[in-house]
Structure 1
């Protein structure tokens, strides 16, 4: 009995456990499933008290709701499902499917149908009228969801994007979390979940997250700008609600504070003082945010050079200061004081130069000058070069030295003042100067010293440097002065020597005719060469017939005392003879022109005897007259006119003699003495005694001719041909023959205008001023006037050159 009771309890409990409680809403269609387990017919029972509803696939037609009931079966399948349409409270109760079989519990399946109800009043507590929930970034936010459950009781669920965040069978469900930036404006949904409806009700809100601002000035935290350009900074911020404050701050000292309150910060023409850190700060109700940017103002470097004189080397440093602080250096330049380039020197890449020591050059101040370097940080303003120069002047003192442009050989002219010129460099100044020529020493009082730029060769470059010029003035009185001179200079560092060889550089002196010996068809000339002027000279004899205009030349045999002959001459003919010397500088003056007649064929061989009988006494008389002239007895000389129709021609360096025997010579030296007196004292007027029977030349100033010439009397009929005198020369005619239409005249020829003294023509009695010569005036010359001699052949003046 007890066993049967336990078995009955077990079966009852099993049945209870097997009951399927189902909730459906009214008017829904309910289907209760049942599978056939054997070939036995399925039987459906239902309320009340398990009344039979159907057998197999047939519904009991006696049921009051049979029209709403049906068995759903598909041929060939094992399912016999009970379908209840328009479910209502009448259908609530217990249902059972009897499938048949050995074990009763396994053959029956129990269902309980109950009318269900929907939940109500689903609410999210924090939402506003716009269905928005507000939260703060990283602050805990609680979302409360409440509901009134239906039948059966269901669950509440929080979800985002169909992702369940929280789920619980309760009437109040709270979801707590800390909103993040990505949660801003996210949609959150609270829904009910039950057995009869997955989500019967749901409500969605949008989360608005209050966040502090986000600030960014630039992605690059360091910005560069050229000095002088305009700078604009923008504070790029974001805030999802109203700002409380926005301001700019500078993180460095500055004279003027920033008062910008807008997102833009403007700096016009920025300079290097504006470089530094700039901060933009933004505040809202949640918090404060800021960003900092560093502004670098780029500008070319300033460059200066320093010098370090160390024990083993000398170093120059090129110091650059600019932004950015990274530099490129070029080659160093070494220039003279006058900016002449001497050399380029390599840089070691860091702006340092080690001056090399070259043997012999340092002692000569060759390292003296400007040293310049160029540095660049690749910043260029106003399209200028990015390289900036810095320089340093290196003094480099030492003992004096003579520059390379000096000439060891210098030139002078005999009987003139000359200079020895020496250029040198000395830092510090010269303390002592001496000049040695042989055993004689000269001192500083005889020199002139001038500071000036001098030419020198420094490291194989010819440049101008600061130096001095020493000029030694000397009177070159004779040939012995052409020799070597040693100049010694001393400063506190030492002594330097320089030797100059003084050489002559002039035209040769005029040779001297010692004797002329005419023969029948030739003339023998004995002559002597004078000083050669410093160069090899050659002597030339010129001759021509008196009635012929052009000269003939013959070279002579050599210098010294020589005898040469002019051959092939015509007997009994007058010849003019003169000599000159020539070297590479030019020609000397001509000797006095000598007028010589070759011997006649009738002349006996005792010409020599005639020479000594006639000529020698004549020469003695001329000497006496010259002696009288020197004593001032001019009248005696004036009374002497040689012989009738005889001419005397004399110039300084040019002269001619003619007499009745054609072999006599007369140098008339007294005129040369007078000319020398004039040259030595320019205040002494020139006087000339004019004899109408003679031709004379006075110095190099005036000459005249009294050879009678016949001219028409222009007082009756004026006919004038005007011609410029030129070169201060002219002709004056005076009458010597009576008659209305014929005049004899004297030709007075003036050489180049004398600028040392005034010229007068004096009368023979008491030296009355007959003519006052004005060389600025012009006179007329007659068309048919001419000179007796057509000789215009004068040696080219020897051009004297100054040699340094």
Structure 2
């Protein structure tokens, strides 16, 4: 016997609780007025012929009166537990627990005429509640089929569907699968399934599935019918085949980062439908792809750095082409090259740049080694992390001459097994000649003078002069500001035995033009401090100052340049203003008293005040003069005095030799000059002495000039050839 039921809502989607309705009736007497009959539920029952069914009437109150009304031809079947006297069919009976108000209708040996609507009524306080049941014969679903359509998606072209068990489509094409059947009772549910996954549900007599094909969509699709009257679901399947171009991947045996000299193997893997493919391997270059092999394997037994690059595997079948790319990096020990520019003393940048080339480009730099041109180790110097050796500022840059070795590593061994590689460069520093620390400053008695000179390029001339009469440069020069005035302070140095005059050169920092100012005559002794004030200068300006002195013999060296920034007028506070006013008043009072006393004394002595005033004004005034306006007293001295020549034999271009000097008839000017010549000296002699001897102490150095950058020469010392002369 097969009995199935289905509830359908009428006035309510669920059974009504009669007790609750009566509660409303007692609270508000409205239910009886509105409802004489209340249908509170419907039910659909499916039953097969010859089976027995029991129809239950819902009960919510034991005090209600229950009656069954039946199929066509039977008006009332029962009331309470008793059948109506008009029912003489023994297949009908009332069952249930009567004392609990359960009155169910039982029908045995169901026949065709038993199908129809049955009504269970309950009367409670003049309100009738109905429960309806539709008894229907069971019908099994049948005739399940699948149809397919490739390349179309509209459901309106049903005549293009083909009944089939398999279908083939290309990648990115759209297929439509249609499943239908002869529906049964009760209604069934249809669904599409693929690899045990539900793709779509719904429909009672047909269901459609639309798929845009991709390679993973190949497989078996099933249309499944589920029904409560079926012992097992109905199933129909269709095989879907997707044709697609090759899917390509590249595998490398080992690693894509390989050390130069080793072997490497590339495998080109493909997946496609159809499976027949043609495979080619290419190396991508700037001028285009270069074919390096055919088939699914590329083997390079000895790989070189030229094999680094991008490799492409291309596979093709009847559907299309596919490709994959991979990069191979050949790691090799670095090569070290050094970028440099031969240095002169005037160069602003003094550095060596190491440019290593290797793979990977992760370099570790070690200390630079400095050697002489004969291979002697001089020093180790630490450079920057990116391979730059910056030379520090040096008064004697010639010490930087020689070979420099840069050592670096990227941890990849060379074919000799070494991971550290080096580059070598010879640095050639050019500049003005310097006298080395080996020279003596004082000679006594019969002189055998040896002059050591380091010069690159070779010097051509040298002039020797008695320097005793030239003043020494001012020292401890400093500059400060007071409001809009600039105060220059310095310490006097040796005046050369003659009265010296001081000069100051000044310029704005933004300008290259110097203005020479004659400082008013000041009597000073060695180590005495002098102050000079420059009034009413331009505010908000940076000024540069230097000081030098001159006597009748010549000029001293210039002092170092000093800078000072002149700000605006200061904003004085009330307290400062008060102090300044007090000071000014005090000074004015003192001046007034002094003037009164002076006038009284001058009147008494009969001195003209006008003459005195002119004298004071003359003492406070000075004129700026240029250097060329100074009398060159040294020229006159040279022309009027007898010249006494010192003969010094020349040993070479880099170092000077020794000579003998007997006596001198003049202590003012001693000079030597002759024709210009070229000298050669074995450079080995330069390095025979201590490397530090090129530096020496400052007090032992004889300056050739103050600067190599174009400052005018302040000494009479010039380049000349040292020749042998007898005094």
Normalised-by-shorter TM-score class:
0.3 to 0.5
RCO greater where, 1 or 2, for CA within 8 Å and sep 6 or more? 2
* TM-score, reference length from structure 1: 0.43
Which structure: larger Rg? 1
